[in-house]
Structure 1
Amino acid sequence: MRALVAAAIGLAAALAVVIALSALGPPSGSTSPKPLLTTVPSHP
Structure 2
Amino acid sequence: MRALIAAATGLAVALALVLTLTALGTPAGETSPKPLLTTVPAHP
TM-score, normalized by length of structure 2?
A: 0.72
Q: For the residues of structure 2 that align with 1:37 and 1:20, how far apart are their CA atoms?
A: 30
Runs of 4+ in 1 over 2 A off after TM superposition: 35-41
Rg: which structure is higher?
1
Q: For the residues of structure 2 that align with 1:31 and 1:18, how far apart are their CA atoms?
A: 23
RMSD, matched Cα? 2.2
What's the CA shift string for 1:1-44, capped at 9, x where partnerless? 000000000000000000000000011111124x2686838xxx
Q: Structure 1: 5+ residue runs without aligned partners?
A: none
Matched residue count? 41
TM-score, normalized by length of structure 1?
A: 0.72
Q: How does 1:1-44 map to 2 (within 5 A)?
A: 1-33=1-33, 35=34, 40=40
